[in-house]
Amino acid sequence: MRSPALDTYFAYTANLGTHTFFMIFLPIQFWCGYTSLGRATVFMLAAGIYWSGFLKDMLCLPRPLSPPLARISMSGSAALEYGFPSSHSTNAVSVTFYAIYMLRQSDEYSPTVNIGLQALFYLYAVSIIVGRLYCGMHGFLDVLVGSTLGALITVFQLVFSDWIDSWIFSGTYKDLIIATLVIFVLVRIHPEPADDCPCFDDSVAFSGVVVGINIGAWHYAQSGFAINDIYPSTVPFELSQIGLPKAIVRTLLGVVVIFVWRATAKPTLFKILPPLFRLLERGRMNLPRAFFLNASSYTSIPNMRDDDNVIPPASQLPQMLKNLAHPRKRSVSVGPQSASDAYETLAYRNRRRRESVNSSDGTVLEDLEWSSTPPSQAVTPAVEKAQPLLGAGILPTPMASRIHLYEQMMGTGNIKGYDGKMDTPPDNDTDLTGEASLKSEEENEKREIFMKLTKPRVRYDVEVVTKLIIYSGIGWFAVGLDPIIFELVGLVSAYDKKYLGVAPKHQKGNDEEPDLPSNMIDEEEPPHSPVTDKELEEAHYRARQQDASYSSVELLQCFFDLFPPDTPVRIRHKPSDKPAGTFSYITTISDRTGAKDMLLYPKVSTAVVIDNPAIKNNF
């Protein structure tokens, strides 16, 4: 079934399900004004990475045995993780299901384009899931459970996202602190694996991103630069208004800011945090974790390479691009790559020993044709003087030769010094020389296999907090600070006319009819309740805070009277029975069109004053 074309295709598409791919393209969603989609994607990916990593480190189930499988990967760290469940499948399914749901709820595209986009997302998910099986990285149960987990995360996002966003944006900073503490608790209770596994690092990174985008979005929504009526903290952006050159420049600037933050924050934290951790350790307030070196055991942290599986340092980007440009840079490996793989190989050899002993005792059928492998052809010391290969002679070529090859690569588990002719056990324990020889052989095999593995680097306790701070900063910069920088350096249009643009100005006739809301509509006024003094006071305050929502004639009259006639105002209508029918435009207080629409649809309309002097001047 394997072919060079399929090898290349699935190796490349696997990159579309990695953490690095999503972390690179997530900020662009925010910078282009797709805040709702960006936040949903971040939350789903963070949940997928955390809970799939949680299960991996709790269950410690290895990847499919290699050999006989050959693993195809362009990632050096993927094979170091456990296999169950598949995080690639979790991410692919959650993103695909959410995107398809949103496409089916939207009438923004023509039916043909809509169906085409859905087909692309289906192809994306299928390519990722089938690719994990084809590349030998996962088994059927791994991708099945991973896909189910991704679907559950999508359902959770669709059901609870509005409530969570409302809690974050409408609450005070105390609610933000509570949300941050919940994430820190989840990081702390992450299981410790049996072997050194990078799943925890990925979970910490994405947890930090969630903290960062919550803080950044809350801050940006309060800054006066954001659009808050359609979705809080939305970045003003319209490609037709800003132009492609400016859009590219602001994207590059945003990426540069993130890499500068990462490059400066990491060495700074590595100098500041170790002394603090030593103080906490003396007071027994530290939180030790397996495979991480305590601060009291080292004096300084050297420069480390390949210590980040999510966003690599800028110095490694050229090499990554070079690898992507050459299809043959993919790695096809056979044999143990991680500690869990090594233990699986040892377990296989022990099973072959038992089969060899049982066959000599007559518990396995002896009518099969046995083939012999000269010791000189063995590929490892562990298979030197190996027993004949079980059942290999009954297989036709070339399958028989492949079984021979796999047996040689895995080792047959021969007991050195044992001739296989012992019919009765010895009379006392002192004669168990075979058992001692067996233990010695097992130790040699274990040492031999683990020496072939890449030795894991030293990991320091401050790396956990450092990663949390750095990735929280990345989320904050991407959502809360980069958009403000874009405004300050002029990487915006004269005025970003969001969504459907500016409503046409009303052309007055010769009549000098006063511009009062009661004169702006011919139909009968919709029913409304009287407005109290407290409501009027609240209306005045909320209007000045740029988050006012009005649904009656009195409030609309008070709202319009608060501002000069040339004040920009954004009108939005969102029918509750048809979410896809939402439309929005920008006009002025003096324009009859906006007031008329507000009076026609009082229960589903929102009017927000754009009280930013810079925007007013450019309107």
Which residue, 372, 192, 362, is CA-closest to 292? 192
- Tell me if 250 sits within 8 A of 27, measured CB to CB: no
Examine the residue annotation and report whether 506 is marked as an active-site residue of this protein.
no
Which DSSP helix (H) or strand (E) runs through 122? helix 111-134
Rounded Cα distance, 528 and 534, in Å = 16
Q: Is 372 left (phi over 0), alpha (psi -120 to 50) or beta?
A: beta
Q: What is the DSSP string of 167-236?
A: HHHHS-HHHHHHHHHHHHHHHHTPPPPSS--THHHHHHHHHHHHHHHHHHHHHHHTSSSSB-SSSTTBPP
Rounded Cα distance, 352 and 527, in Å = 85
Which DSSP helix (H) or strand (E) runs through 485? helix 482-488
Which DSSP helix (H) or strand (E) runs through 57? helix 35-59
Examine the residue annotation and report whether 88 is marked as an active-site residue of this protein.
yes
Q: How big is the chain by its Cα radius of gyration, in Å?
A: 32
Residues 6+ apart with CB under 8 A from 111: none
| Residue 555 CB-density burial (10 A; 0-12 exposed, 13-18 middle, 19+ buried) | buried
The catalytically annotated residue of 19, 88, 190, 219 is 88
Question: How far does CA 231 lie from the centroid of its chain?
Answer: 22
Helix axes 244-282, 19-31, angle to 10 degrees: 120
The catalytically annotated residue of 19, 138, 190, 219 is 138
Rounded Cα distance, 565 and 240, in Å = 28
Phi and psi, residue 463, nearest 5°: -65, -30
Residues 6+ apart with CB under 8 A from 28: 251
**Residues acting as catalytic residues:** 88, 138
